[in-house]
Structure 1
Amino acid sequence: PDTLVYGPFLRYGGYDPVSHAYYASVLAIIHQARSPKAPMLHFRDINVSGSHTEVQGQHLLHYRGFNAWRFDLTILCGMPSRLVEYHVVPSAGNMFVTLPRYRFHVPGVSQRWRWGFFSCNGFDQADKEQEYGGIQPLWRDVMHSHEERPIHLMVGGGDQLYNDDVWNLPSMVQWLSIPEKASRLNYPFTQEMADQVEWFYFTMYAKHWSQPLFADALASIPHAMTWDDHDIFDGWGSYPDEIHRCGVFQGIFHYARLFYALFQQHATPGRVHELNGTFGGNAWHTVTCFGKTLGICVLDARTERSRAAVVPASDYVKVQQQLAALPSTVRHVVFVTGVPLIYPHIPGAEGFMHALSGGHCCAVGVRTMIAQTGVASSLLNSFDQVELLDDLVDHWSSAVHKDERMKLLHMLQELAQKRSMRVTFLAGDVHVAAWARFASAEKTPKIKDFRYMPQIISSAIGNGPPPFNAVRMLQLFSRKRTVDANTDQKMMPMSTGKLMRAQRNWAIVEEAPLEDGSVLKDGALTFQIRLEHKSMIGKVIHHREDLAIDVINIKVEPLLIQPEASFDASKLTPFGQL
C-alpha cells in the first residue's frame, strides 16, 4: 500500500420510520504509525449550532500494521433534511495538519428519498479498462448528479470490484498446473497460498476503494452493498460441488469473505449480523426502509449459492418474515437480486454445455476432440468446465434454479396481495440496461394486479457491454413466456424501442407522481437509467458540460388494492408450499 490511511467509507445502516432514527457507519483503515490508539470521529449538523458529537472507533481488524476502525452514527431525522459534516482524527495526528472533512445528506422525516443503484464496477479484461477510460466516467456523472440534487444513498448490486486475477497468483498458477483433477481437488490450501490470497484481496479492495471519484462517492454518499461472483472470482457458486468443496476454493472464499465483510459491510464475518442487523445462516441478507413508504430487500445470492440452490430455503423463510414485519406505511418493496430473475434464455445452450462438462463417454470424446483442435483453452476453463456454463447456470432461468424462482415469486405474490405492497426487482450482472415484468396471465390493470412485478436491470457502471451481435441474439429469444397458470413474464421495450441497451449505465430511483402534475401517490417509483453515450467512450471527462448521458425513465405504479383487514404474518403460507 502507498498510503497510511484508507477511507473514510460511508455505509447506510437503516432507518426506523417510527422513531425516525437514521443509522450509518464509517470505516477508516489507518496504519498504526498514524494511529497507535483508537481514532475519533467528529460529526455535526452544519445548520445546527452545538450539534458537535464525538465517536470513538471500534476496532475490527489488524492486518500488517493496519487497523480497521468502525464508527457508528445514529442521527434523529428532523422535518428539514440534515447536512452532516464529519472527519476522522487519528490518535497521532498533527495539530498543524488540516484534516479533510466530508459531508453527506440525511433526508427529512417527510422527504422522499433519492437514491442510486450500480453494479459491475470494474473490468474483467485489462484492455476494456483502457478502452473505456476506467470506472471514472459514470462515477463523475454520479457526483455531478449528487451536486445538483443530493443522492441520499447508493446501492451496490454486486461485482463492486473484479477479483478474478486471484488465479494469477504464483501459488494458484502452480495449483492449476496439477494435471490430474483428483490430485488438484485433494491438494491442501497451504500457508503460502493463504498469505498470497489474503494480501491480494486486501490490496485489491484498498486500491479499488481509493480510485478517484469512486472514493469521493464512498466518503460522501452512504452505501448499501451485496456481492456477486466477481467480488470473489468469476463463477463462484455455479461450479460443481466437488470443486466448491475443495480446500483451495474454500481457502480463497475465506479471505474473499473476510474483506467483503470489512470493506462492504464494515464488520468482520462473525459480527455482521450483530453490527448490521442482517440475517440468514451463513449469508447476510438485509431488509430495511428507505423512508416511510419504501422498503428494500438486498438479497445475498452468492454466499451459499450452489448448482442446487441460489439461497437456502431456510433463509427464504426469514426473508418472508422480515418483509411481513415491515411497517404498515411501506407501500413498495424493491427486491435486489444481483442476477436478473427475467432474462432471455437460449434453448438448448445450457443442456449442450452441461453434457460437454459431464462424464458421459460421448462428452469425453467431444472434449478430447476439442483439446486436439487446439481451441480447448478458449472453450474449456481452468477447472475442466465448459467456459460460459457457469454464466448460464448462474441465471434464475437455468433449469436447476427455475423451481426456486417460482417459489420465491409465489412468496412475494402472496405478500404483495395481503399487504397491498408493490414489489419491484432490481438487478445488475449482465452489462446491459433493460426492463421486464411479471404480470397476471389474465389481463388486469397494473394498479390492481398484485402479480405485476417489474424488473429493472442496470449494469454496468464500469465494465464494457457485450458485443453487439450477442445482444442482438439475446433479443431474438426475448419472447413472452408462461411462468405458471396465473403468471407470465416479458421483456419490455425501452423508450427507444429496443429491449436492451448495450451501454454502460447506472440508475437513480425516486418516488414520483403517477402522472406529471398529479398528486403524489405513496409507492410510485421512477427509475431513471443514465447511460453513457457512445461519444464519451475512451474520453477523459473533467467538466460537467462534457458529459454525454442518455436518459431512460421507467415509471412503476403503486399497487392500489385493499390490504387484508387483519394481516397476520403467522398465517402466511410457508415458503415453497404455495
Structure 2
Amino acid sequence: MSSTDAAGTGTDAPATERIIGPVLFLDDLTAEAMHLAALFIVPHGQAPGPVTAQGQEVPATVIARYRRCDIHRARFALPLAGGSYRWEGAAHPVAGLGADALRLAYVSCNGEETGDMEREGSERNAMWARLRASHEAQPFALLLHGGDQVYADEVTHGHPLSEDWPDSWPEDPDPAAMEGLREHLRERFLARYAAIYAAPDLAALAARIPSLMQWDDHDICDGWGSLSRAATASAMGQAVFAAAREAYLTFQAAAAEGDLPPRFADPAGGHLGWAVHGAGLRLYAPDLRSERGRRQVMGPGGWAMAEAEAARASSGHTFLLSSVPLLGPRLSILEYLMMAVPQMQKYEDDLRDQWQSRAHRGEWRRMLELVRSMAAADGQDITAVSGEIHLATRTEMELGGGRVLNQLVASGIAHRPPPAAWARTLGTLASLGEAPLPGHPIRIRPLPGQRHRYAAERNWLLLERRGARWSASWDLEHAGPTPPLPL
C-alpha cells in the first residue's frame, strides 16, 4: 500500500490482498528478557511464515477470524538488552531496554472523528514519517500509545440499527438484526486497524519497536462513558463496546479473551489496566474507559490496581500513562457556561471526560493522593504522561520538599490541532490556577522554547534516559523539536 493510500481507500473494506505485519507488542518484562508478540493480518488462503528468534522458529497461530482474513500471532522472547528476529527473510532489530541510554516514544490521537479513512496518506501520516526518521537515526526501545489509536466514531454508520446511535436507537431490536449489527461492527473495526497498520511509516516502526497501548474513548466511540447511561446501556451501546473491546484485545494487545499477557492486572479483563516493571523503569497505565460512567472514572478493579501500584516498591522512574490529562485547568467555569448556553451543551460530554470535571472531583483527588504517595517513596521519581486534547503542553504540581510532579501532554500524532483561539482560551483558564489538594498548586507551563501554555501543532513526545537522568522533548510539526526538559 502506498503512502498516499495509507489512510484508507474511501471504503471500509480491509486491505486483504497481502499480509499486514508484523506488528510487535511487549507482553511483559523479566530480569533477562523481553517477552514479545508479533501480530499479522492475513488474507484467507495465505499463512504467515514462522518468526525466528534466538535460533528458534515460532509458528503464528490464529487468534481471531473475520470475513475475509484471519489474525495470527507469534509469541517469542528476545534478550532484555536487545536483539533481532527474522520473518519472511527480513531481519528486524529491536533496541532493548538493558542499556543506560534509553529512548521511548509516546504518541496519541492517531486519526480524526470524521472522514479519517478518506484522508490523503502523506498528509495524515506526516508526523509518523518524522518519528520514523528519528528512530532510524537513534532507535527507540518502546513505542507508547496513549489512546485513540483509531477513531471508531463512524463504525455505527451504514447499518439501520445503529445509524442514529447514540442519539436514538430501537428499544427492542430483532435478535437476527442484532447479530448482523455485531458482524458489521467487527468488520468496520478491522478495516480501520488494517488501514492504519498498512501505512508505510507506522508499519516500519511497528515491526521493530515493541508497542504498549492503552485505549481511550475514540477507540470505542466519542465520549464513551460520558454519554447518557441510557445510550451506553442500550443493546446498541453494549454491541459497540463489545466490538471495540474485542478489537482492542486483538489489534492493540495481540491477545484474545482469557489469554491476556501477564502485564494486565486483571486476567479476566474486567478492566484493561496494565503495568510493566523492569530495567529501572515502571510504566503504569490505568484503564479509564472499561469501568467509566458519567459519575466515575474507574471502578473497583481499576482502583484496586491503583492502590496496589501505589503500595509497590519500585526503584527508578515511574511513568503514569493517563489517557486523559491528570493535571489540567479549572473546568468548572466552562461546565457552568455549557449548562447555561444551549448551543454549547453538545460539548458537555467532552468536559465530563476529564479528571477535572465537577462530576469526578473526588476521584481526581484520590488519584492525586496516590500519585503523591508514590512520589514520596525512597528512590522513586514519577512523571505523568497524557494525550487526548489535540494539543501539546506541560503541567507541574508541587509535591512539597522541593519536589514537583511533571505532566507531559503529547496529542495528536495524526489529529489536526484545534484553532489557535481554543488553545489561547485554555491558556487563559490555566492562568486561574487549580489546587484540588490543598497546598499542592497546579500550574500549566509553556513547552521549552515556546511562549504559550498550549502548542496547537501535531506532535509526538520523546522520553530519553542518559545514565540515571530522564528528559523529555516534543517534536512539533512546524516549530520542530523542543529543547529537552529535565524530569
Settle same-fold status: TM greater than 0.5.
Answer: yes
Aligned residue type for 2:486: K
The percent of aligned pairs where both chains have the same amino acid is 24
* C-alpha distance in 1 between matches for 2:359 and 2:162: 31
Partner of 2:223: 235
Partner of 1:540: none
Aligned residue type for 2:83: L
- Specify which of 467, 473, 483 is matched with residue 528 of structure 1: 473
Partner of 1:575: none
Partner of 1:287: 275
Aligned residue type for 1:158: G
User: Does 2:19 correspond to 1:5?
Assistant: yes
User: Does 2:169 correspond to 1:216?
Assistant: no
* C-alpha distance in 2 between matches for 1:323 and 1:483: 19
Decide whether the 8 Å contact of 1:116 with 1:508 is kept in 2.
yes
* C-alpha distance in 2 between matches for 1:131 and 1:438: 40
Aligned residue type for 2:77: T
Q: CA deviation at 1:145?
A: 0.7
Which aligned pairs between 1:155-194 and structure 2 lie closer than 5 A?
155-172=144-161, 174-176=163-165, 184-187=170-173, 190-194=178-182
Aligned residue type for 1:507: L
- Specify which of 68, 71, 87 is matched with residue 68 of structure 1: 71
Q: CA deviation at 1:458?
A: 0.4
Partner of 1:489: 442
* C-alpha distance in 2 between matches for 1:175 and 1:468: 32
Q: Tell me, what secondary structure is at the counterpart of 1:297? A: strand
- Specify which of 472, 486, 489 is matched with residue 424 of structure 2: 472
Decide whether the 8 Å contact of 1:308 with 1:400 is kept in 2.
yes
Decide whether the 8 Å contact of 1:135 with 1:462 is kept in 2.
yes
* C-alpha distance in 2 between matches for 1:33 and 1:132: 28
Q: CA deviation at 1:326?
A: 5.0
Partner of 1:428: 387
Q: Tell me, what secondary structure is at the counterpart of 2:147? A: coil
* C-alpha distance in 2 between matches for 1:337 and 1:321: 17
Aligned residue type for 2:438: A
Which aligned pairs between 1:4-83 and structure 2 lie closer than 5 A?
4-16=18-30, 19-35=31-47, 39-43=49-53, 51-77=54-80, 81-83=81-83
Partner of 1:260: 248
Q: CA deviation at 1:348?
A: 3.2
Q: Does the C-alpha gap of structure 1 residues 263 and 482 become closer, same or farther in structure 2, counting only changes over 3 Å?
A: same
| Aligned length, in residue pairs | 467
Q: CA deviation at 1:137?
A: 1.1
Q: CA deviation at 1:478?
A: 0.6
* C-alpha distance in 1 between matches for 2:349 and 2:76: 40
Give unmatched runs, 5+ long, in structure 2: 1-13
Aligned residue type for 1:26: A
Aligned residue type for 2:460: W
Aligned residue type for 2:322: T
Q: CA deviation at 1:337?
A: 0.5
* C-alpha distance in 1 between matches for 2:131 and 2:163: 42
Which aligned pairs between 1:283-362 and structure 2 lie closer than 5 A?
283-289=271-277, 291-327=278-314, 330-354=315-339
Decide whether the 8 Å contact of 1:9 with 1:219 is kept in 2.
yes
Aligned residue type for 1:21: A
* C-alpha distance in 2 between matches for 1:488 and 1:130: 42
* C-alpha distance in 1 between matches for 2:84 and 2:69: 27
Q: Does the C-alpha gap of structure 1 residues 426 and 461 become closer, same or farther in structure 2, counting only changes over 3 Å?
A: same
Q: CA deviation at 1:419?
A: 3.6
User: Does 2:100 correspond to 1:118?
Assistant: no
Decide whether the 8 Å contact of 2:34 with 2:77 is kept in 1.
yes
Decide whether the 8 Å contact of 1:175 with 1:184 is kept in 2.
no
Q: Tell me, what secondary structure is at the counterpart of 1:146? A: helix
Decide whether the 8 Å contact of 1:257 with 1:269 is kept in 2.
no
* Post-superposition CA distance 1:306-326 (Å, at most 9, x none): 112111144222233245435
Decide whether the 8 Å contact of 1:176 with 1:184 is kept in 2.
no
TM-score by length of 1: 0.75
- Specify which of 472, 477, 500 is matched with residue 454 of structure 2: 500
Q: Does the C-alpha gap of structure 1 residues 117 and 136 become closer, same or farther in structure 2, counting only changes over 3 Å?
A: same
* Post-superposition CA distance 1:532-563 (Å, at most 9, x none): 117xxxxxxxxxxxxxx24242211xxxxxxx
Q: Tell me, what secondary structure is at the counterpart of 1:341? A: coil
Q: Does the C-alpha gap of structure 1 residues 493 and 122 become closer, same or farther in structure 2, counting only changes over 3 Å?
A: same
* C-alpha distance in 2 between matches for 1:185 and 1:399: 31
Q: Does the C-alpha gap of structure 1 residues 349 and 294 become closer, same or farther in structure 2, counting only changes over 3 Å?
A: same
TM-score by length of 2: 0.89
Partner of 2:264: 278
Partner of 2:376: 417
Aligned residue type for 2:485: I
Q: Tell me, what secondary structure is at the counterpart of 2:322? A: strand
* Post-superposition CA distance 1:1-38 (Å, at most 9, x none): 3424221110012322xx32221111112234113xx8
Decide whether the 8 Å contact of 2:97 with 2:279 is kept in 1.
no
Decide whether the 8 Å contact of 1:295 with 1:326 is kept in 2.
no
Aligned residue type for 2:257: P
Q: Tell me, what secondary structure is at the counterpart of 2:198? A: coil
Aligned residue type for 1:467: P
Deviates most, 156-165 or 408-417: 408-417
Q: CA deviation at 1:61?
A: 1.6
* C-alpha distance in 1 between matches for 2:117 and 2:243: 27
Q: Does the C-alpha gap of structure 1 residues 325 and 349 become closer, same or farther in structure 2, counting only changes over 3 Å?
A: closer
* C-alpha distance in 2 between matches for 1:200 and 1:428: 25
Q: Tell me, what secondary structure is at the counterpart of 1:227? A: coil
Decide whether the 8 Å contact of 1:186 with 1:246 is kept in 2.
no
Deviates most, 99-108 or 408-417: 99-108
- Specify which of 361, 366, 370 is matched with residue 402 of structure 1: 361
Q: CA deviation at 1:127?
A: 8.7
* Post-superposition CA distance 1:51-93 (Å, at most 9, x none): 422112233122225332221112233xxx4330320xxxxxx
Aligned residue type for 2:484: N
* C-alpha distance in 2 between matches for 1:177 and 1:307: 15
Q: CA deviation at 1:169?
A: 1.8
Partner of 2:8: none
Decide whether the 8 Å contact of 2:476 with 2:482 is kept in 1.
yes
Q: Tell me, what secondary structure is at the counterpart of 1:400? A: helix
* Post-superposition CA distance 1:304-356 (Å, at most 9, x none): 211121111442222332454355xx221100001102222344331343577
Q: CA deviation at 1:415?
A: 2.5
Q: CA deviation at 1:112?
A: 3.0
User: Does 2:101 correspond to 1:109?
Assistant: no
RMSD over equivalenced CA pairs, Å:
2.5
* C-alpha distance in 2 between matches for 1:21 and 1:132: 36
* C-alpha distance in 1 between matches for 2:101 and 2:160: 51
User: Does 2:183 correspond to 1:195?
Assistant: yes
Q: Tell me, what secondary structure is at the counterpart of 2:35? A: strand
Q: Does the C-alpha gap of structure 1 residues 132 and 68 become closer, same or farther in structure 2, counting only changes over 3 Å?
A: closer
Give unmatched runs, 5+ long, in structure 1: 44-50, 88-98, 357-365, 367-378, 381-385, 513-519, 535-548, 557-578
Q: Tell me, what secondary structure is at the counterpart of 1:164? A: coil
